[in-house]
Amino acid sequence: MLDPRIPFKNRYLAGVLAFLFPGAGHVYQGRYFKGILCGVCVLVTFFYGMALGNWSVVYWKKDPTNFLNPYYAQVFVGLPALPSLVQARRYESRTNINEMSISAPINAPFHGTLRMHDRTVGLADGVVTGRIELKPGARPAEGRVVQGTFTGHLDKKEITIKLGGIPTLGKAVSADPDREIEVDVVDSSDPPQAIGRLRGDFPRSFLDRFESPPDERYYLDLHGKLGKFHELAMTFTMIAGLLNILVILDAVEGPAYGYGDGAEEERKAAAPGSADKAAKAVPPAQPPPAEAAKT
């Protein structure tokens, strides 16, 4: 039975608010301290698990063989976990495939490898780090052809190379923080001729990786990199969702304990006319046995 001393207002609306954002239902009811405390506990647990798992442990991926999908618990955190449903749809989209063109310029950090076909230009194969700049071809007739440069280091040696041709890019939406790219190294002739191949990764947009499903390769790499901490990160995010179920129930039904012993009697005593009823219920005082004998 709900305690009238707590302003529950519309308790079902409070439950919806508590699901959407931990603690919001209690704040709506005016239970500010408990709402803030619940929100902090749930969200800190959830985002700590996310950070521990390299922001790659909360996602929805349909798997008919897995009846214990962690997302079934994670989703109860509410809004912080709901982007997974949108990202899963984007990930499974037919348009989320390897691309052979770019629609907007790329200017980003890069790390990868250089493989040269023509060794007469003074460049050797090796590991490169630096910055890649690419933009679509200047003329409409060039179609998927790109042009740009890479500036950085080849085995600690500063280099600047010209890029062009038709690039190959990995999927746009994935949990992997890096996106793959391959592009030709070209000379200065007209038209430019490919003399090598640059292959590596540049940072993926946060909006394209946040709560997105991982590719199989990245999933295995992440397991190898994090080890037992991967399962620990997953557990933290699941605990956060299960904790918020208790928060939702508290917003709808009130606390399971905390009214105190005799709360029902206190409410009856406070009811109108209860004093008269109590007086009638008390029997008159009886004289002591000795006085009764004298009488």
pLDDT, position 38: 96
Is the four-CA dihedral 246, 250, 256, 260 of positive or negative sign?
Answer: positive
Query: Is 12 a domain residue?
Result: yes
Q: Is residue 262 part of a domain?
A: no
pLDDT of residue 2: 52
pLDDT digits (tens, 9 = 90+) for 233-288: 999 999 999 999 999 999 998 887 655 444 555 555 555 665 555 556 556 656 66
In this structure, is residue 43 part of a structural domain? yes
pLDDT at residue 260, rounded to an integer: 46
Same domain, 201 and 218: no
User: Are residues 218 and 186 part of one domain?
Assistant: no
Whether residue 242 lies inside any domain: the answer is yes
Last residue of a domain, one of 171, 205, 239: 205
Q: Is residue 152 part of a domain?
A: yes
Question: What is the span of the domain harbouring residue 24?
Answer: 1-92+214-257
Per-residue model confidence (pLDDT) at position 154: 92
CA gap 204, 215 in Å, rounded: 14
Same domain for 200 and 242, yes or no, is: no
pLDDT at residue 270, rounded to an integer: 56
Q: Where are the alpha helices (DSSP H) in the chain?
A: 11-20, 24-28, 32-52, 71-74, 83-92, 206-209, 216-226, 228-253, 263-270, 274-281, 289-294
190 and 148 in a common domain: yes
- Shared domain check, 130 and 181: yes
DSSP string over 217-254: HHHHHHHHHHTHHHHHHHHHHHHHHHHHHHHHHHHHH-
Same domain, 247 and 200: no
- Same-domain pairing of 148 and 177: yes
Any domain includes 122: yes
Residue 29 lies in a domain: yes
- 149 & 195 share domain: yes
87 and 223 inside one domain: yes
On whether both 14 and 159 belong to a single domain, the answer is no
Residues 193 and 223 in one domain: no
Burial of 285 (0-12, 13-18, 19+ CB in 10 A): exposed
Answer yes or no: do 80 and 114 share one domain.
Answer: no
Q: How many domains does the chain have?
A: 2
**Inside any domain, residue 48:** yes
Global pTM value: 0.78
pLDDT, one tens digit for every residue, the chain (295 residues): 455 566 678 989 999 999 999 999 999 999 999 999 999 999 999 999 999 999 999 999 887 777 789 999 999 999 999 999 999 999 999 999 999 988 889 999 999 999 998 777 778 899 999 999 999 876 555 557 889 999 999 988 999 999 999 999 999 999 999 999 999 999 888 888 999 999 999 999 999 999 999 999 999 999 999 999 999 999 999 999 999 999 999 999 888 765 544 455 555 555 566 555 555 655 665 666 655 555 4
